A and B are shown apart, each in its own frame.
Chain A
Amino acid sequence: GAGVSQSPSNKVTEKGKDVELRCDPISGHTALYWYRQSLGQGLEFLIYFQGNSAPDKSGLPSDRFSAERTGGSVSTLTIQRTQQEDSAVYLCASSQIILFGELFFGEGSRLTVL
């Protein structure tokens, strides 16, 4: 498809396990964003990529969170030693132009930490 693709769509894991979430942006989009949305809450910015570099990682909640992007395309968000408070929907978005472009969101990865 032509949209932003995220996987897995649903992930249930046990506390303490590591999880990896994947985002495949729209082809040609240079900017890629990760957000987190908890139940009934707004979108919390985590990190963005311009190409393969992440100029600002300050939105990541703790050092258990990391993200990378390779080849200016696919990005992975890794959460180590998951905690129950990590349970949320993790949304990836991409845009063609980093400062002014419309954000196109994927359907999200719903993470549940038991």
Chain B
Amino acid sequence: RKEVEQDPGPFNVPEGATVAFNCTYSNSASQSFFWYRQDCRKEPKLLMSVYSSGNEDGRFTAQLNRASQYISLLIRDSKLSDSATYLCVVRSGGADGLTFGKGTHLIIQP
């Protein structure tokens, strides 16, 4: 089983809709969780950290389910500019212990 798994998509979603996708991780000792965003042919950038109690940043909500070992990202009122690849990132200890998922490709359609 891969350490961090994501549905690659693409998710084709109409503008204004709500979209959610999950990421599963295999290491139960994982400590920190993040969502990064990567635009086409650009570098990844931190979107938000994921806290145990769940957290919200504007239209974006991230949640962590330790029992089932997954994190989720929900985007409300999607915008065309939300089109990107969303990378799930898990830190499992050790200074180099960041593992990136392969990403979920999201396309917001007008």
Q: Do A and B come from one complex?
A: yes
B87 within 8 A of A: yes
Interface Cβ pair total, 8 Å cutoff: 45
Contact with A along B92-110 (1 / 0, CB 8 A): 0011101111110000000
The residue in chain B whose Cβ has the minimal distance to the Cβ of A92 is B43
A97-108 interface code vs B (CB 8 A; 1 in, 0 out): 011101101111
Is there a chain A Cβ closer than 8 Å to B42's Cβ?
yes
Q: Is the interface of B mostly helix, strand, loop or mixed?
A: strand
Enumerate B18-69 residues with CB–CB distance to A below 8 Å.
Answer: 32, 36, 42-46
User: Which residues of chain B in 70-110 are interfacial with respect to chain A, using CB atoms and an 8 Å cutoff?
Assistant: 87, 91, 94-96, 98-103
Q: How large is the interface on B (under 10, 10 to 19, 20 to 34, 35 or more residues)?
A: 10 to 19
Residues of chain A with a CB closer than 8 A to B87's CB: 42-43
Identify the closest chain A residue to B99 (Cβ): A45
Q: Which residue of A lies closest to B2 (CB)?
A: A42
Shortest Cβ distance from residue A105 to the other chain B in the assembled complex, whole angstroms: 4
Q: List 26 A-B contacts (CB under 8 A).
A: A33-B96, A33-B98, A35-B100, A41-B102, A42-B87, A42-B100, A42-B102, A43-B44, A43-B87, A45-B96, A45-B100, A48-B96, A50-B95, A55-B95, A56-B94, A56-B95, A59-B96, A91-B43, A98-B95, A100-B32, A103-B36, A105-B43, A105-B45, A106-B43, A107-B42, A108-B43
